[in-house]
Amino acid sequence: MDERISILQGDEYFSLECVVDGNPKPQVRWRRKDTKLHWENPLRFHRVRYDLEGTYQCVATSDGFTQRAKDVFIDVVGKPTLEGEGGTASVSVLAGETVRLGCTIQADPLPHDVTWTWRNSHGQEERLTAGSSRIVTLRRNQQIASSLTIPDVAVTDGGNYVCRATNMFGSVKRNIHLQISDAFPDIIVITSIAAGATLLLTAAAVVILVAKRKGWICKSHQDGMSLAEEL
């Protein structure tokens, strides 16, 4: 076997056989190096994923003889794939808050960078850069994570934000729809409630005043005063 084998991410099936000679015939198994994971020979994967990449050992054992092993590094290559919600997402926040949008991508080879574009409600598109926006990108092994932070968002910041990553095998993107609600409706509701309470108190005062003039209130008290004067 070669010391390094490249396989394509997303393939439906992969098989690697380890051929060993010996007398008596040795037992052959596979294991992932530095783990307790074992497979029978040949080594088979029913679907190739990035997390399968690593060093595997073909181990041959025969009673009374020294164990023999050979390492092979399986390199999983392919176009970028998104982790999480998939190709579309929606975020809703209130004006004045801080919002953070993110994309985590797996690929081999890793893309050089993750690009961000913004399409506003009028259909105008703008390429966002680290200088104009708070963009942070971290790279680790087969993973690249990028986040876009917008502090003190305004209604005009709403629209579609697209993150995109590309390598030699292809590209992937996520469309994040950002919806921003104005915080003023809450103030309007509170003001309306206060105005309604004031109007209710005013109406109650008018009713009491009319009732007094009509003699509907304190009538028994007035009758008592008249009877005392006659005595």
Question: Residue 162 carries which side chain, given as an amino acid letter?
Answer: V
pTM over 0.85: no
Measured in Å, how far apart are the chain's first and last C-alpha atoms? 128
Give me the residues paired with residue 16 across strands.
Answer: 43
Given a cut of 50, the residues of the chain with pLDDT beneath it are 186-192, 195, 207, 219-231
The count of other CB atoms within 10 Å of the CB of residue 10 is 14
pLDDT value of residue 83: 87
Q: Give me 85's structure tokens.
A: 């919600």
pLDDT value of residue 189: 45
Q: Which of 47, 41, 104 is nearest to 76 (CA)?
A: 47
Q: Give me 120's structure tokens.
A: 């506003």
pLDDT value of residue 86: 75
**CA 114, CA 133: separation in Å to the nearest integer?**
14
pLDDT value of residue 153: 93
pLDDT tens column, 211-221: 566 565 554 44
Q: Give the 3-state secondary structure of residue 200.
A: helix
Computed over its alpha carbons, how large is the radius of gyration of the chain?
37
pLDDT value of residue 216: 55
Residue 174 CA: distances (Å) to CA of 4, 82, 106, 117, 177? 33, 8, 13, 11, 10
pLDDT value of residue 222: 47
Q: How many CA atoms lie within 13 A of 224 on its CB side?
A: 4
Q: Give the 3-state secondary structure of residue 189.
A: helix
Answer yes or no: are the C-beta atoms of 83 and 47 closer than 8 Å: no
Answer yes or no: are the C-beta atoms of 43 and 16 closer than 8 Å: yes
pLDDT value of residue 221: 46
